[in-house]
């Protein structure tokens, strides 16, 4: 949470998140939940405790600092840092806190060897290989060389080998996911042939539900944990059915007014009333991470009915059309995301109006003050 000055509240339903984990575990034998970036805006400590109680024994954060908080929260869990060490403090922390760090360069291995030697411990690492993202990781052709480097290190032990899929959530690019999978298999084979006893991990949410052949030893569910269907809007949408959105976000009506035909609303006069109408002002805006890009596109939920956003979203206020909700009154709760009933606002819908993805919806709106259920 980073926003403290508003009336917006993000309600987190931990029971929905646990249900999603159980659904994932029915598809994948050994899921290691990804709770990086403050658990995608859902709150790292709360989510970590709920998932550990539900049976998760390996958990992954993003940065080393976040992994240290995760280790404090669930000391009994195996904790992974997906970004691995980036500065001197990170290297020391990995060694002192028994964090399994992703490493994707020889330099990182050598710096970890030095840090572990100073601390007087052996540090475990997950070898990260690039199989098609062109982001972090060793090149696939470096596998034998990485094994050679590890042979010369006293304090670093590789326990995992990982890569990241670029198109697992896109049925039209399933061939590319298979190509990455084949490249990854060759890397794993090389490392095993060199005597490295490493667990293999490749599958993200999309692969868990859509590519069972890519599951390997450990799976890394992310967006699916929080209720995002990785195949929403695609031909494979049915594969992700059953996931439940864990976050809902609401604010309140701070004014209700009637305007005459021809009266414009908000900055720039981008909306003009075609007839007399009731307008509600909701206490939310782009300072609360409700994007200005939602102007005249989004809908909110009030008394179980949709109300369209009128005109431009302001810094802390947004206007909505109350024509279909005559009983609306100042103080009523208005849902920007979620809400009860069949008209509930889904994260996929909000992301589409926003022109983004559900990940960003959760991460940004989750920075508002949070409350927890269960």
Of 63, 60, 52, nearest to 162 (Cα)? Answer: 60
The predicted pLDDT at position 2 comes to: 82
Separation of alpha carbons 317 and 334, rounded Å: 12
Which tokens belong to 261? Answer: 């035909």
Separation of alpha carbons 50 and 165, rounded Å: 27
| Domain 31-233, classified CATH 3.40.640.10, yes or no | no
**pTM summary value:** 0.95
In angstroms, the first-to-last Cα distance of the chain is: 19
In 47-202, beta strands by DSSP E = 58-61, 78-81, 100-103, 123-130, 138-139, 156-162, 199-201
Domain span(s) for CATH 2.40.37.10 in the chain:
247-373
- Residue 36 annotated among the catalytic residues of the structure: yes
Rounded to 5°, the CA angle 249-228-287 comes to 35
Give phi and psi for 255, each to the nearest 5. -160, 145
Separation of alpha carbons 283 and 8, rounded Å: 7
Separation of alpha carbons 38 and 23, rounded Å: 22
Contact indicator for 347, 228 with CB cutoff of 8 Å: yes
Look up the CATH number of domain 247-373.
Answer: 2.40.37.10
Long-range Cβ contacts of 71-77 (<8 Å, 24+ apart): 71/97, 71/98, 71/99, 73/44, 73/45, 73/48, 73/49, 74/48, 74/49, 76/52, 77/48, 77/52
Contact indicator for 202, 160 with CB cutoff of 8 Å: no
* Marked catalytic residue, from 71, 91, 176, 267: 267
Which tokens belong to 281? Answer: 């002002």
Separation of alpha carbons 86 and 101, rounded Å: 11
The predicted pLDDT at position 373 comes to: 87
Which tokens belong to 253? Answer: 């009506």
Rounded to 5°, the CA angle 44-31-189 comes to 125
3-state secondary structure of 210: helix
Contacts of 279 (CB under 8 A, 6+ apart): 256, 257, 258, 259, 265, 273, 310, 319, 320, 321, 322
The predicted pLDDT at position 1 comes to: 65
Contacts of 145 (CB under 8 A, 6+ apart): 106
Q: Report, as ranges of residue numbers, the positions in the chain whose pLDDT lies below 70.
A: 1
Separation of alpha carbons 62 and 350, rounded Å: 25
Q: What percent of the chain has pLDDT over 90?
A: 99
The predicted pLDDT at position 374 comes to: 74
Domain span(s) for CATH 3.20.20.10 in the chain:
31-233
* Marked catalytic residue, from 36, 71, 128, 239: 36
Of 346, 343, 348, 303, nearest to 326 (Cα)? Answer: 303
Contact indicator for 166, 204 with CB cutoff of 8 Å: no
């Amino acid at each position: 949470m980073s926003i403290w000055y508003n009336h917006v509240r993000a309600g987190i339903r931990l029971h929905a998140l646990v249900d999603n984990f159980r659904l994932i575990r029915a598809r994948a034998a050994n899921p290691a939940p990804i709770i990086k970036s403050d658990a995608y805006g859902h709150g790292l400590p709360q989510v970590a405790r709920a998932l550990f109680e539900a049976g998760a024994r390996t958990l992954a954060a993003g940065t080393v600092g976040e992994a240290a908080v995760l280790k404090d929260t669930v000391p009994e869990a195996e904790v992974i840092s997906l970004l691995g060490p980036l500065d001197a403090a990170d290297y020391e922390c990995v060694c002192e806190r028994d964090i399994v760090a992703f490493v994707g360069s020889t330099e990182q291995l050598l710096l970890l060897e030095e840090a572990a030697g100073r601390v007087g411990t052996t540090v475990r690492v997950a070898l990260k290989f690039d199989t098609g993202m062109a982001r972090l990781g060793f090149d696939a052709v470096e596998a034998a060389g990485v094994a050679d480097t590890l042979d010369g290190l006293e304090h670093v032990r590789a326990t995992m080998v990982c890569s990241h899929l670029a198109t697992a959530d896109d049925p039209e690019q399933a061939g590319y996911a298979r190509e990455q999978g084949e490249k990854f298999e060759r890397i794993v084979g090389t490392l095993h042939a060199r005597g490295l006893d490493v667990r293999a991990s490749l599958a993200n949410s999309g692969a868990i539900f859509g590519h069972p052949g890519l599951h390997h030893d450990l799976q890394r569910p992310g967006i699916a944990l929080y209720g995002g269907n990785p195949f929403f809007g695609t031909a494979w949408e049915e594969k992700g059915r059953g996931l439940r959105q864990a976050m809902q976000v609401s604010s309140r009506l701070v004014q209700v007014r009637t305007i005459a035909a021809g009266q414009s609303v908000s900055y720039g006069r981008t909306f003009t009333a075609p007839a007399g109408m009731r307008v509600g002002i909701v206490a939310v805006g782009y300072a609360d991470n409700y994007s200005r890009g939602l102007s005249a596109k989004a809908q909110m939920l009030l008394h179980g009915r949709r109300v369209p956003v009128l005109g431009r979203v302001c810094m802390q206020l947004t206007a909505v059309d109350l024509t279909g909700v005559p009983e609306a009154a100042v103080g009523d709760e208005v849902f920007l995301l979620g809400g009860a009933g069949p008209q509930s606002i889904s994260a996929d819908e909000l992301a589409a109006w926003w022109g983004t993805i559900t990940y960003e919806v959760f991460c940004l709106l989750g920075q508002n003050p949070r409350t927890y259920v269960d």
